[in-house]
Chains A and B, each alone.
Chain A
């Protein structure tokens, strides 16, 4: 048991523990903070896998962007200190059984499958390689999806402004 393995299990416990708390706690703001810790643990897991660029993107977009957006919208929409209403106990038990059965099914499939790693020379996920392939227009390049995603982001930006600016009198 060396240091890297201990770090892996600590990160796994952080991701799963705070993820579980984020979906079970009754207070919405605490759920957002637990979600933040789960996302930070995920960024740490990307660092552990030596995908530094993805880890940096995770920290910038999820931890710095989406979580702040969620906390901001909690402040805009919730009363402070109010506990969330819960669903009926029967529905909760059914959801837990459904989630557990799905998890068991997926894990059975994973354990039975034998994944064979490729024999080819590995390509390092460095920023140079990522950038060359991301904007490449030859075979295997991702220039077209890159442009499509940029159009999608622009459409989402304009769309969210239009939706959020609509006044209640127009809709009712």
Chain B
């Protein structure tokens, strides 16, 4: 079968919900960050697929992908700074052990 828009949307949706599953089941903050990276990647693939197969006369999907990549890089840097600070304070990055702000 010739791969087209629907195949790409299938890959993108599957990767998105793999990321959601990982985000819901992981207890480690770095592993949760990895799940978020998977989710952002699936969104990028969606934008590129729509740009190529539906609105080939514009480049807007491509620009959204570029901005999502830039914001994902900023988000990963801030998240890792928070994780390193958390390791200094609690000696753990398990989300169920760091509950100082819970109550």
Contact = CB atoms under 8 A, between A and B. Distances in A.
A5 B2 CA distance: 7
A99 B15 CA distance: 10
A35 B38 contact: yes
Interface in A146-172: 149, 152-153, 155-157, 159-161, 163-164, 166-168, 171-172
A20 to B, nearest CB: 6
B9 A163 contact: no
A77 B41 contact: no
Contacts of B72: 61-62, 66
B74 A76 contact: no
Main secondary structure of the interface of A (DSSP, over half): helix
Interface string A62-103: 100110011011101110000011110001101110111011
Contacts of A121: 57
Contact of B53 (A28, A115, A145): A115
Contacts of B89: 168, 171-172
Contact of A70 (B6, B24, B27, B30): B30
Contacts of B52: 49, 51
Interface residues of B, number: 73
B88 A168 contact: yes
Given A87-B27, A145-B63, A156-B75, 13 more contacts: A16-B11, A23-B25, A23-B38, A61-B69, A70-B76, A77-B93, A91-B24, A102-B17, A106-B17, A145-B67, A155-B74, A156-B78, A172-B89
Interface of B: 1-3, 5-11, 13-22, 24-28, 30-31, 33-35, 37-38, 41, 44-45, 48-59, 62-63, 65-67, 69-78, 80-85, 87-89, 93-94
16 contacts: A19-B18, A23-B21, A23-B38, A35-B34, A42-B44, A51-B52, A54-B66, A65-B73, A84-B27, A87-B27, A98-B20, A100-B17, A118-B56, A130-B63, A134-B63, A142-B63
